[in-house]
Structure 1
Amino acid sequence: MRFSIPHLALGASLAVHSAAARAVVAVDEDPAAVQTRGLVGGLVGGALGTVLGLGDVLKQLDQTRDPGTILDILNGVKPRATPTSLPEVQETLQSIYGAATPTNLFTNVALQLGAGLGPQEGGKDLTSIIAELLDGENSVDNSNNPTNVSRPVYPSAAAGDAPFSVPEAQLRAAIQIPPSFTFGAKPPVLLVPGTWSYGGSVFGANLRKLLTGSPHADPVWLNVPGGMMRDAQVNSEYVAYAINYLSAVCGNNSNVTVVSWSQGGLDTQWAFTFWPSTRARVSSFLPVSPDFRGTVLANALCLSADSELGLGPCDPAVIQQEHASRYIETLRAAGGDSAYVPTTTLYSGFFDEIVQPQHGAEASAYLLDARGVGVVNVEAQSVCPPGSPGAGFYGHAGMLYHPLAYALVVDALAHGGRTGDVSRVDVAGLCSHYAAPGLGLEDVLATAGLIPVALGLMLTSPDKRLVEPPIMPYAKALPSRE
């Protein structure tokens, strides 16, 4: 039996969650403190869990650290509710993820699935969805063999570039170029996904949908083998190659605009840092929910049947995204804490359930501008008027449909691929919407469903480690701290 979640039952708690989250995070920017909050166990969304009848499920999830058991439990969660409006989606997501004290992400995902905010189209469970994920738009084996490559891009596009460890055929096959692509008649836009995801599904219901057909954008996307779960340094090779390849096949010195999500932003910055040739081929960089300083919540995703939460093995890219990882330290020490190209970062303050801290100048998404190329750091809740929908709850995936985020992407593209300019867009009008114009309830639900699918991919990924991959020789690793 399906039903809509009663607004009155949740209304009082939502206001408390929002105010508490702002109060706690605003005065507590210390990463160690944020990490402590992120590792606290216990049930979340108690009222919602009761409404959905998921009390026993939440208890089971809170008591296990075994990936297979967690996946089995999540597979058994069926939608108990049907969201009927965008305000209801935002309110429900806030009731799940908006608590002042972040808790077990797997119990949160169970609540999300039970509230009808997951990807269970046609009654499929997470295992079935993941099994079908690499078909079609998420293919990692695409045939890209145009003959009009105007300059060499492999084994090196220019002197000073890092060497590739991945064969060119594999790098090229990860780029999905739709049949409508004009090869330079319109500005190419490269869409780069995040951890536990592929470009087709990440952007299909949001930015790619909106940009397709635009006179200022011609989107293609990356599907990195392994779903961006393997060594982030290798993931960055796919980004570096795709930038130079797309620019070369489009001819006339075409430059690329890069739009990324999550780890995609971090790896693009790594590509700019160690493949200098890419910088001259990019007009604008627009990372959504990036983690340039990593996240203090990464450890909370490392688990096994024999460990406490946060102490188990993790996917290589997750360890590399820990706040104090060698990957993060190496990038920042090499100059990656500042932009190399005109950059507009787009992120949600306080409410990002994956990346923290994410507020003010200490936000992980915050980039400096030491090179004077132009940087605009856009924290949605600090730009949208207080009390407007756009200043409300948007999580890690929610920024992909945020109306201000899309407007600034379009603004950057329409103005020669520079930075987006808040002064050129109708902030008040945009922030009065819950989602970018052109997106509806189905699109928002599909985007929100990226988080459960990502967690499902994490639970099934085979390559788990206790330490991050060694820094590549070209990156001039920092001296040992031991």
Structure 2
Amino acid sequence: MPRTTRSTLLALAAAAACLVGVAGVATASPSRDDGTGPALTAPGLDESLTCSGDLADGSAGEPVLLVPGTTLNPDVNFDWNYARAFTGEGRPWCRVRLPAHATGDVQVAAEHVVHAIRTMHDEAGGRISVLGFSQGGMVPRWALKYWPDTRGMVTDVIGIDPSNYGTIDAYPVCGPGCVPAFWQQRTGAGFLRALNDGPDTFAGIDYTVVYTVTDEVVVPNLPPAASSELRRDGAGRLANVPVQAICPVHVAEHLSMGTTDPVGYAVVADALDHDGPADARRIDRAVCLRDVMPAVDRAQLPANEARLLAQVATSVATEPRVPAEPPLREYARG
């Protein structure tokens, strides 16, 4: 498949991908008074986490939790790029499968992330890093906000084109009804108002956001108030890095940022390899000459892109739609 055709298909699929989900039942979760947050009631928590490598072996850095984007399972999102890169480095990693291809109620998805963080922390015997794409870069913030015990378990939160402040693209898509996760990622959604009420970051955690200003899914994504960016009103150390700050003429769409983009990967690697968030000044500008990240197998690239697009199309076509945004859980009200 010609590269221009693949890029066009990726862009079209990505525009659909950020905008659908499965119906989640927004029942209230009983709160705990021991500082750990609401009880986890989502089914299938133990089955949603898959790991590779010895999590307790810190020789290659903290283990990384991989959180996929909307419409995607973690294998399709990560097994041919970031998971492959981490395995090659000897870095242990886990991936969490979010219900309904990450199209359902994000509040339910967050419970899977909380369980994954706790499980990995226990097995590693120390803090972990979290790397997520799109919704997967935003939902860990919900986990950290409402389950306070997880804050001491995480050293880095890295989001690739995260939907931290939503997207206006979801409005036309949700006009006739859409999946819960699309409702919740609309700019101004009740879910996002609750998420962003208060500080964006927590002390002791380093936050890196890497994004493209040419994102056609998370819109608008232009500084100084890009939808992906976190605000500097919290206690955590923070870096918001548009890839164009490193390579000014770089063009990347949403799906390629979460799978193959070489500049995005360089920022992620910098964040994982250094204390503190990523620093664009440390990135070798030779990365601007690359077209894919190092771990991507060029021979398998067309097949993996086709697999990615098929996953997006299947999720968009088959996951049930709902007529309104799921109500906030009791713990998030007020």
What is the 5 A alignment of 1:435-446? 435-442=292-299, 444-445=301-302, 446=304
TM-score (norm 1): 0.61
Q: In the alignment, is the contact (CA less than 8 A) between 1:97 and 1:353 conserved in 2?
A: no
1:354 and 2:217 are equivalent in the alignment: yes
User: d(CA) in 2 for partners of 1:213 and 1:203?
Assistant: 14
Residue in structure 2 matched with residue 54 of structure 1 by the alignment: none
Within the candidate set 438, 443, 461, 2:319 is matched to 461
Instruction: State whether structure 2 residue 163 is matched by structure 1 residue 299.
Output: no
Structure 2 equivalent of residue 213 of structure 1? 88
| CA distance, structure 2, for counterparts of residue 232 and residue 107 of structure 1 | 19
Which residue pairs with 1:171 in the alignment?
Answer: 45
Alignment of 1:373 onto 2:249: no
Could you tell me which of 289, 292, 308 is aligned with 1:432? 289
Deviation at 1:232, TM superposition (A): 0.5
Alignment partners' CA distance in 1, 2:10 and 2:268: 26
Give the Cα–Cα distance (whole angstroms) in 2 for the partners of residues 158 and 447 of structure 1.
45
Shift of 1:226: 1.3
Tell me how far apart the structure 1 counterparts of residues 184 and 333 of structure 2 sit (CA, whole Å): 16
Q: Is the 8 A contact 1:284 1:343 kept in 2?
A: yes
AA aligned opposite 2:121? S
The AA in structure 2 aligned to 1:284 is D
Q: Does 1:312 align with 2:176?
A: yes
Residues 1:410 and 1:157: Cα distance change in structure 2 (over 3 Å): farther
- How many residues align? The count is 314
Show CA shifts across 1:336-383 (max 9, x none).
Answer: x44662111111112x22211111122111012323421111111232
Paired position in structure 2 for 1:44: none
Check if 1:278 corresponds to 2:137.
no
Matching residue of 2:260: 401
Quick check: which has more Rg, 1 or 2?
1
Deviations 1:180-220 (A, max 9, x none): x20311321100011111111100111111111314x2111
Cα distance between partner residues in 1 of 2:114 and 2:149: 9
Q: Counterpart of 1:73?
A: none
C-alpha deviation, 1:262, in angstroms: 0.9
Counterpart selection for 1:184 from 25, 42, 56: 56
- Residue 23 of structure 2 corresponds to none
Quote how far apart the aligned CAs of 1:434 are: 0.9
**8 Å Cα contact 1:297-1:355 kept in structure 2:** yes
Give the aligned residue type for 1:289: D
Kept in 2, the 8 Å contact 1:177–1:220? The answer is yes
Cα RMSD (Å):
2.5
Which residue does 1:363 correspond to in 2? Answer: 226
Segments of 5+ residues of structure 2 without an aligned counterpart are 17-30
Structure 1's unaligned 5+ residue stretches are 1-81, 84-88, 99-104, 110-154, 303-310, 478-482
The CA distance in 1 between the partners of 2:188 and 2:67, in whole Å, is: 24
SS in 2 for 1:378: strand
- For residue 154 of structure 2, what is the amino acid of its counterpart? V
Asked whether the 8 Å contact 1:339–1:371 carries over to 2, the reply is yes
Residues 136-186 of structure 1 deviation map (CA, whole Å, 9 limit, x = unaligned): xxxxxxxxxxxxxxxxxxx9795152332225xx212100123xx203113
Aligned residue runs from structure 1 range 34-45, under 5 A? none
Cα distance, 1:356–1:194 mapped onto 2, change above 3 Å: same
Partners of 1:205 and 1:447 within 8 A in 2:
no
C-alpha deviations, 1:116-143, integer Å up to 9, x for none? xxxxxxxxxxxxxxxxxxxxxxxxxxxx
1:162 matched to 2:38? The reply is: yes
**1:51-88 deviation digits (Å, cap 9, x = unpaired):** xxxxxxxxxxxxxxxxxxxxxxxxxxxxxxx33xxxxx
1:107-256 map, 5 Å: 159-167=35-43, 170-178=44-52, 181-186=53-58, 187-215=62-90, 217-251=91-125, 254-256=126-128
